């Protein structure tokens, strides 16, 4: 008895450690985790680590091929592509993280309320979710940006709303399964209010699959942000975004291909790494079955 | 007047009446057993007292439930919520699923005291650990930080009991608190509950299908069959002299030391479903003593001179029935 207890002391920390361990100690999770941490650091520290400012134009060195001075070359205005990609990471990551966070928070609340209370509210939410589920996210985002007008904040809002349905649906499905569990009944029997049951017991239990789903959606959101940027609907010049950089590179795709290739690579590699990390997380949390229910 | 007094309780769930005219009462320091097979209405009785019938689409059709002078059948939900957990606590059947898997067990005990007694986090923790120690949970301060999956079934049931005790209730309703546990752990948990009742002057309603548990623990027992009271009496009296054929059959089902291997007895047949209750005495299709009136006339609940209640046309020792 005492032996069993001793080995389990500080259980919470060892639990969390073991999930982090399970993710980072696999090749998939380790590589993607390191990449994402580096990218995050570069984005955060961009003003201090970039070799050149992102917005100073120097037409004398326009469209130069990669060299020692400019590792990834310069664009059509003579700006350093590497520096702009690092700043672009800021835009990309902040837009997709903010959008998905808002989407997760609102979607979880909506889904939990709909699943827990049921009735007319549930029917209304489900109908709205099913309706928006039938359009591609890019279409919803395009329509919303068209209504609100282009810019960073509207991109965040548009992406956030475009992914709302997914989290609402997943959370609702989780809550539907959880709300009839004995421990919910037991909590109710002890006099807990609806709010206490939903926020303290139902939501934490529904969290793991939603986190995974949010992780994978962040990858999609980066592509969506790049797409909107490509159409000139995202961050407005001179703020660099990977989509806008690719868009400006199309004109010189044969003359100076580095202008379009490197931001494109940044998008592709980042999305692949996020997906790999999500995959490792699914395995570590062992929730494949739960994700399928959603 | 007793702490909890249920009179003539009938409930209605979507037009079905699974309980018809149940009466019982329980006072402080007393253990009342409610016994019956699955489907006899034991758990619905508990749900009615907890005011949770609306959750399954039911309502109280007739009768009164009086708790410490308060009429519960007409109590509005917000007031009822303050009562639940605070004055009336409920222990569910299965400790394996009664705890939130992603919350530390200590926090789950805390939340009850914080909710009802408005304690702060520190005071609630101290109180929870104290309760855990009283329930003889070894190394309570360590186990306080554990998650449910790290505990054994018996420990989990103790945590569930600790949650029930956290706000110092007057009445505990335990719905088959030991069915999911090993026999040895069962005995420990039952002993613990009895000790709590004696020490804290609690009232306990023990819902079970096990007459053996009733014999060990209860002061009084109500035998339910298909939503009606078959018999109720003090435990010694009912075991010494069971008068209803159903009670007798239930007692015969307890395995004894001298039970020959392979000779465990059951009661032939099954409890009728709510939709197909037979006319007359609901037990008559399975009863060995049935006679002509049993399939047509509902036996009235009688109060024999020796105390207790019985509803049977042909009770054992019928000579002393006093109508």
pLDDT digits (tens, 9 = 90+) for A197-252: 999 899 988 888 898 899 889 999 999 988 988 888 877 777 888 988 888 888 88
Residue of A nearest to B164 (CA): A190
Residue B188, pLDDT above cutoff 90:
no
Residue A287, pLDDT above cutoff 80:
no
Give the mean model confidence (pLDDT) for residues B309-314.
86
- Look at residue A290 in the predicted model and tell me its pLDDT: 53
Residue B322, pLDDT above cutoff 80:
no
Of the candidate ranges A165-169, B35-39, B195-199, B220-224, the one whose mean pLDDT is the lowest: B35-39
CB atoms within 10 A of CB A291: 16
Closest CA to B222 of B214, B38, B48, B198: B214
Query: pLDDT band at residue B171, thresholds of 50, 70 and 90?
Result: very high
* CB neighbour list of residue A115: distance below 8 Å, 6 or more residues apart: A122, A171, A172, A173, A174, A175, A176, A179
| Residue in the block written with tokens 């032939």 | B268
pTM above 0.90, yes or no: no
CA A41 to chain centre: 16
- Look at residue A192 in the predicted model and tell me its pLDDT: 87
CB atoms within 10 A of CB A138: 17
Asked whether the beta carbons of residue A205 and residue B101 sit closer than 8 angstroms, the reply is yes
Query: pLDDT band at residue A2, thresholds of 50, 70 and 90?
Result: very low
Q: What is the DSSP string of A226-257?
A: HHHHHTT-SSPTTS--HHHHHHHHGGGTTT-T
Mean pLDDT computed over every residue of chain B: 86
Closest CA to A127 of A143, A140, A110: A110
Q: Provide the percentage of residues in chain B whose pLDDT is more than 90.
A: 20
Superfamily of domain A72-293: MetI-like (1.10.3720.10)
Pick from A8, A182, A192: CB nearest B94: A182
Q: Provide the percentage of residues in chain A whose pLDDT is more than 70.
A: 91
Residue A18, pLDDT above cutoff 80:
no
Query: pLDDT band at residue A1, thresholds of 50, 70 and 90?
Result: very low
Domain residue ranges in chain A: 72-293
Of the candidate ranges B12-16, B59-63, B264-268, the one whose mean pLDDT is the lowest: B264-268
CB atoms within 10 A of CB B255: 10
CA A131 to chain centre: 23
pLDDT in tens, A96-132: 999 999 999 999 999 999 999 988 999 999 999 999 8
- Look at residue A8 in the predicted model and tell me its pLDDT: 44
First to last CA, chain B: 25
- Cβ of A5 under 8 Å from any chain B Cβ? yes
Greater confidence (B107 vs B257) lies with: B107
Please check whether residue B212 is in contact with residue B225, taking contact to mean a CB–CB distance below 8 angstroms.
no
- Cβ of B179 under 8 Å from any chain A Cβ? no
Q: What domains does chain B contain, in order, with CATH numbers? A: 4-87+169-261 (3.40.50.300), 96-168 (no CATH)
Query: pLDDT band at residue A15, thresholds of 50, 70 and 90?
Result: low
pLDDT in tens, A139-172: 888 888 889 888 888 889 999 998 999 999 999 9
Of the candidate ranges A60-69, A182-191, A245-254, the one whose mean pLDDT is the lowest: A60-69
Asked whether the beta carbons of residue B115 and residue A190 sit closer than 8 angstroms, the reply is yes
- Look at residue A168 in the predicted model and tell me its pLDDT: 94
Give the mean model confidence (pLDDT) for residues B257-270.
75
Give the mean model confidence (pLDDT) for residues B120-130.
91
Mutate one of A182, A189, A196, A286 to test the B interface: name it (highest B CB count within 10 A): A189
Give the mean model confidence (pLDDT) for residues B29-33.
92
- Look at residue B293 in the predicted model and tell me its pLDDT: 82
pLDDT in tens, B267-298: 877 778 877 888 888 888 888 788 788 888 88
Q: What is the DSSP string of A14-36?
A: HHHHHHHHHHHTSHHHHHHHHHH
| Residue in the block written with tokens 């009863």 | B287
Greater confidence (B74 vs A4) lies with: B74
Q: Which residue intervals of chain B are DSSP H helices?
A: 42-50, 77-83, 105-117, 121-134, 140-143, 153-165, 183-200, 211-217, 235-240, 245-252
Query: pLDDT band at residue B57, thresholds of 50, 70 and 90?
Result: confident
Residue of B nearest to A4 (CA): B150
* CB neighbour list of residue B118: distance below 8 Å, 6 or more residues apart: none
- Look at residue B320 in the predicted model and tell me its pLDDT: 45
Phi–psi pair at B66, nearest 5 degrees: -110, 125
Pick from A181, A192, A200: CB nearest B97: A181
The A residues from 191 to 220 touching B (CB cutoff 8 Å) are 191-193, 196, 200-201, 204-205, 207
Asked whether the beta carbons of residue A12 and residue B50 sit closer than 8 angstroms, the reply is no
Q: Provide the percentage of residues in chain A whose pLDDT is more than 90.
A: 29
Query: pLDDT band at residue A276, thresholds of 50, 70 and 90?
Result: very high
Question: Residue B104: its chain A contacts at CB < 8 A?
Answer: 12
Query: pLDDT band at residue B31, thresholds of 50, 70 and 90?
Result: very high
Residue of A nearest to B151 (CA): A5
Classify residue B207 by its DSSP letter.
E
- Look at residue A21 in the predicted model and tell me its pLDDT: 77
- Look at residue A294 in the predicted model and tell me its pLDDT: 44
Say whether A173 sits in a helix, a strand or coil.
helix
Distance CA B113, CA B171 (A): 16
Asked whether the beta carbons of residue A189 and residue B160 sit closer than 8 angstroms, the reply is no
Question: Residue A11: its chain B contacts at CB < 8 A?
Answer: 145-147, 150
Greater confidence (B264 vs B246) lies with: B246
Please check whether residue A209 is in contact with residue A294, taking contact to mean a CB–CB distance below 8 angstroms.
yes
CB atoms within 10 A of CB B262: 5
Query: pLDDT band at residue B97, thresholds of 50, 70 and 90?
Result: confident
Give the mean model confidence (pLDDT) for residues A280-288.
77
Q: How far, CA to CA in Å, does B81 sit from each of A288, B94, B188?
A: 38, 23, 31
Cβ pairs bridging A and B (under 8 Å): 86
- Look at residue A269 in the predicted model and tell me its pLDDT: 94
């Amino acid at each position: 008895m005492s032996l069993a207890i001793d080995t389990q002391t500080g259980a919470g920390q060892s639990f969390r450690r073991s999930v982090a361990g399970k993710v980072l100690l696999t090749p998939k999770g380790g590589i993607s985790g390191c990449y994402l941490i580096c990218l995050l650091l570069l984005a955060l520290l961009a003003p201090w680590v970039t070799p050149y400012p992102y917005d100073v134009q120097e037409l004398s060195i326009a469209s130069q091929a990669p060299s020692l001075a400019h590792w990834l070359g310069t664009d059509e205005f003579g700006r350093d592509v590497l520096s702009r990609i690092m700043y672009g990471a800021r835009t990309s990551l902040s837009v997709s993280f903010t959008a998905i966070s808002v989407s997760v928070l609102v979607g979880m609340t909506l889904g939990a309320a709909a699943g827990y209370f049921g009735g007319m509210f549930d029917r209304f939410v489900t109908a709205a979710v099913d309706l928006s589920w039938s359009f591609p996210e890019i279409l919803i985002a395009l329509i919303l940006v068209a209504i609100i007008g282009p810019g960073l904040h509207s991109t965040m809002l548009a992406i956030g709303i475009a992914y709302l349905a997914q989290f609402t649906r997943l959370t609702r499905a989780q809550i539907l399964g959880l709300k009839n569990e004995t421990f919910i009944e037991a909590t109710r029997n002890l006099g807990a209010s609806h709010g206490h049951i939903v926020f303290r017991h139902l939501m934490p239990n529904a969290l793991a699959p939603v986190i995974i789903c949010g992780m994978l959606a962040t990858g999609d959101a980066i592509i969506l942000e790049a797409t909107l940027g490509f159409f000139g609907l995202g961050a407005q010049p001179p703020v660099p975004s990977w989509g806008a950089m690719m868009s400006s590179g199309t004109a010189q795709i044969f003359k100076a291909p580095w202008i379009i290739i490197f931001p494109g690579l940044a998008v592709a590699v980042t999305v692949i790494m996020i997906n790999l990390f999500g995959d490792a997380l699914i395995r570590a949390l062992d929730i494949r079955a739960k994700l399928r229910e959603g | 007047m007793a702490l909890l007094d249920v009179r003539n309780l009938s409930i209605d769930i979507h037009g079905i009446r699974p309980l018809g005219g149940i009466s019982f009462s329980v006072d402080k320091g007393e253990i009342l057993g409610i016994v019956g097979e699955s489907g006899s209405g034991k758990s619905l009785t508990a749900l009615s007292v907890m005011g949770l019938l609306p959750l399954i689409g039911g309502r109280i059709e007739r009768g009164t439930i009086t708790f410490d002078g308060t009429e519960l059948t007409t109590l509005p939900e917000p007031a009822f919520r303050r009562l639940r957990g605070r004055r009336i606590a409920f222990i569910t059947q299965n400790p394996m699923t009664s705890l939130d898997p992603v919350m530390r067990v200590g926090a789950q005990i805390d939340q009850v005291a914080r909710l009802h007694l408005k304690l702060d986090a520190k005071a609630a923790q101290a109180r929870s650990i104290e309760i855990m120690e009283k329930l003889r949970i070894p190394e309570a301060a360590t186990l306080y930080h554990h998650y449910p999956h790290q505990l054994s079934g018996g420990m989990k049931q103790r945590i569930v009991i600790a949650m029930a005790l956290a706000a110092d209730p007057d009445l505990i309703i335990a719905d088959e608190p030991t069915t999911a546990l090993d026999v040895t752990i069962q005995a420990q948990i039952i002993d613990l509950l009895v000790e709590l009742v004696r020490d804290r002057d609690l009232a306990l309603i023990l819902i079970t299908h096990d007459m053996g548990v009733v014999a060990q623990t209860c002061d009084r027992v109500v035998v339910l069959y298909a939503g009606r009271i078959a018999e109720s009496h003090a435990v010694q009296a009912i075991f010494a002299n069971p008068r209803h054929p159903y009670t007798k059959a239930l007692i015969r089902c307890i395995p004894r030391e001298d039970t020959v291997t392979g000779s465990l007895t059951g009661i032939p047949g099954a409890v009728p479903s709510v939709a197909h209750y037979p006319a007359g005495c609901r037990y008559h299709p399975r009863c060995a003593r049935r006679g002509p009136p049993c399939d047509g006339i509902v036996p009235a609940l009688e109060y024999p001179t020796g105390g207790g209640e019985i509803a049977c046309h042909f009770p054992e020792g019928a000579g002393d029935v006093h109508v």
